[in-house]
Amino acid sequence: MTKTMNSTMTDAVVGRVSNLSNDRNLIVRPRRLRRSDGIRAMVRETVVRPDDLIYPLFVVPQGRPRVEIGSMPGVFQSRVQEAVDDARRAYDAGIRAVLLFGLPEFKDAIGSSSWDPTGPVQSAIEGIKKHVPDMTVMADVCLCEYTDHGHCGVIVDRNGTKDVDNDQTLPLLMKQAVSFAAAGADFVAPSDMMDGRVAAIRRALDERSMNDVGIMAYSAKFASGFYGPFREAAESTPQFGDRRTYQMDPANRREALRETAIDVEEGADIVMVKPALSYLDIIRETRDSFPLPLAAYNVSGEYSMVKAAAERGWIDGPRVMNEILTSIKRAGADLIITYHALEFAENYKG
């Protein structure tokens, strides 16, 4: 090893004692710390617990049956009562937060069903708060599940090109967030990636004395191929184009920090990196740069790959699940939004 400014620190890290470093007979033996389950547990640096996890739930209108998502085994589109039952089961397993997504009765150009006080998400918030009162309820704020075009905002025509208009979208997100808060949500979680939406939602909540409702901002949300299965679950596939004019380019690291800094400035209580697994470097850098709690979204494609490979017997599913969740926490996430949450929690051995 070349001598550098850090050589003293490096010596300390590898356990080298300087006056013995030339003794070729000395072998430093890190394996002593791996000899038994007990020793390994004692020196384990990262432990994932059920209360680190946020469990996503998809809620459909009453008239629809409960359906398992084909590409996401173990994940369901559920009616309100079933979502409440899922939340109860998750709470009993040690999970302390759910994140709700809604599939509405009808869709239109502006996603107006999303602020219906009797909508699936509003009803599920009320039901969970009533029957599982200690569960923290978070509600995803975005328009794509509620618009007939499947985009996250209002579509305008600019010289023959369709685009999502940022500033026309903000008031709609505010309405939706206020509606979820009025139903009893503890946190609203804007996932749209419009500029200025955290400040707009914060203002809308505060004007209505909803000061206690927090904002978990999808701060660095990348335009990712890993969202594929989610679109089946949330029925939110864009009918034309893609989301690259508002979600981030996967190649950009500095921009992720800039987006997060803006959300912090605008009043976010929790920031987020999404997806998680291909963005562990972003999670680490965000953790090192901001003091706020950091969430990471272990997204649908990451989940489906594990399930599909395990189904074929190619990997040990539970073991890979544990390794993935540990890696996300080790990278610096305080909270992990994951479809594995219930399976992890029910098999957790404190």
- Report the catalytic residues: 221, 274
Q: Nearer to Zn ion by C-beta: 192 or 266?
A: 192
Q: Which tokens in the block code for residue 325?
A: 């969740």
CB 192 within 8 Å of CB 167: no
Q: d(Cα 279, Cα 263) in Å, to the nearest integer?
A: 19
Shortest Å, Cβ 143 to Zn ion: 6
Cβ 142 to Zn ion shortest distance, Å: 3
Choose between 50 and 150: whose C-beta lies nearer to Zn ion. 150
Shortest separation between residue 165's beta carbon and Zn ion, angstroms: 15
From 65-73, 147-155, 160-168, 218-226, give the range in contact with Zn ion by CB under 5 A. Answer: 147-155
The correct pick among 59, 124, 142, 194 for binding Zn ion (CB under 5 A) is 142
Q: Which of residues 186-225 bind Zn ion (CB under 5 A)?
A: none
321 exposure class (CB count in 10 Å sphere: 0-12, 13-18, 19+)? buried
Q: Is the dihedral of CA 95, 76, 243, 122 positive or negative?
A: negative
Tell me, by CB under 5 A, how many residues bind Zn ion: 3
State the minimum distance, in angstroms, from the CB of residue 311 to Zn ion: 29
Taking residues 148 to 177 in sequence order and writing x for each that binds Zn ion by CB under 5 A, - otherwise, the string is: ----x-------------------------
Contacts of residue 169, defined as CB under 8 A and 6 or more positions apart, other chains included, come to 143, 152, 153, 154, 192, 194, 197
Between 144 and 328, CB nearer to Zn ion: 144
Helix or strand holding residue 86 (H, E): helix 80-92
Does 144 help bind Zn ion (rule: CB under 5 A)? yes
**Closer CB to Zn ion, 90 or 216, in the complex:** 216
Stretch of 2-10, 119-127, 146-154, 269-277 contacting Zn ion, by CB under 5 A: 146-154
Q: Nearest-CA neighbor of 346 among 97, 90, 99? A: 90
Q: Decide whether 142 or 282 has the Cβ nearer to Zn ion.
A: 142
Phi, psi of 232 (to 5 degrees): -70, -45
Which residues fall within 8 angstroms of residue 141, CB to CB, at 6 or more apart?
173, 176, 177, 180, 188, 189, 190, 191, 192, 201
Which residues of the chain form contacts with Zn ion (CB under 5 A)?
142, 144, 152
